Amino acid sequence: MLPRVLRRIAGFLVVALVVFVSYKSLRFAGFQLRWENPDQGLEHDLEDRQSLVEVARATFPDGFRTSQPVPAGELSQEGELALVAENASVGIGELVTIDFESPPPGKSFCANCPVSDEWEVSGLLLSFHSWTANSTRPYIIDASNFLPSNSPRHALGGALSQEHGLEVGVIQLDFPGRPRKVEFTIYGPDMIDPFEIIVWSRGNRIEDTAVIRTVATRYRPAGRSQFRSERVLAEAATGLDRISLDGWGPPGHVLIIDNLVIDP
């Protein structure tokens, strides 16, 4: 009888050890369960807030993810106006590079603040969708805790919450001028492969194979597991309406965007 009891105890300890190691691995990768995340005030250091990223749900609202083709007017969530008209001309505007370090002429922004139409004159509109965030806008953040060393400090990320830190969700880039080519750098945990990037042209989703991704570097931010940066090129002769960058998951994860080039 005693050996049987000991075997059961040993088996339980092995299972508990596996669960504990898995949990610690997720925590080290930057994930955190919602109920582990106590309320945090403004007095908490922003670096601590940015490190809090929840594990996202595995289900989505009806119509939140769409398959090709769909009318241009339905590219947005229900109740949200489409930001690019179906009959919009292609290739409007000039070649621009947006590094999110400084605002365009006549505009302003602050670090760790929401943005939406600050770069409208350059042909870019921004929005953000998440079940957990109150903000419908992404944020310009001090991303030094997520980027390779010696990188510029600021980049585009999800919404920041006083209570939950950097929220996970979908960052949307809309292009009213319908450029034929858009290029940018994306950063996120290397364990997420691939990063989910959805590109739209005239109401149709471009095939994933038509989006060129080049791994730029793999690196390890302080206190986190390995991250990866990719240079992404999306191109369509019919013009690009929208690029959706989905960090919702599962599992929910950080996505940071920088060095955006809009080429009409």
Three-state SS at 8:
helix
- C-alpha 175/C-alpha 239 separation (Å) is 9
The predicted structure's pLDDT at residue 34: 37
The predicted structure's pLDDT at residue 111: 83
Question: Among candidates 191, 228, 197, 229, which has minimal Cα distance to 210?
Answer: 197
Three-state SS at 72:
helix
Q: What is the CA radius of gyration of the chain?
A: 21
Burial class for 114, CB neighbours closer than 10 Å (0-12, 13-18, 19+):
middle
The predicted structure's pLDDT at residue 210: 83
Give this prediction's pTM: 0.69
**Two tokens, residue 132:** 């957990």
The predicted structure's pLDDT at residue 170: 94
DSSP assignment letter at 92? -
The predicted structure's pLDDT at residue 109: 74
Q: Collect all residues with Cβ–Cβ distance below 8 Å to 101 and sequence separation of at least 6.
A: 152, 153, 154
Q: What is the pLDDT along the chain (264 residues), one digit of tens a residue?
A: 556 655 666 566 655 555 554 545 544 444 444 333 333 332 333 333 333 332 222 222 222 222 233 334 444 443 344 556 667 789 898 999 999 998 877 887 788 899 999 999 999 999 999 887 788 999 999 999 899 988 899 999 999 887 777 888 999 999 999 999 999 999 999 999 999 999 999 888 998 888 999 999 999 998 789 999 999 999 999 999 999 999 887 678 999 999 999 999
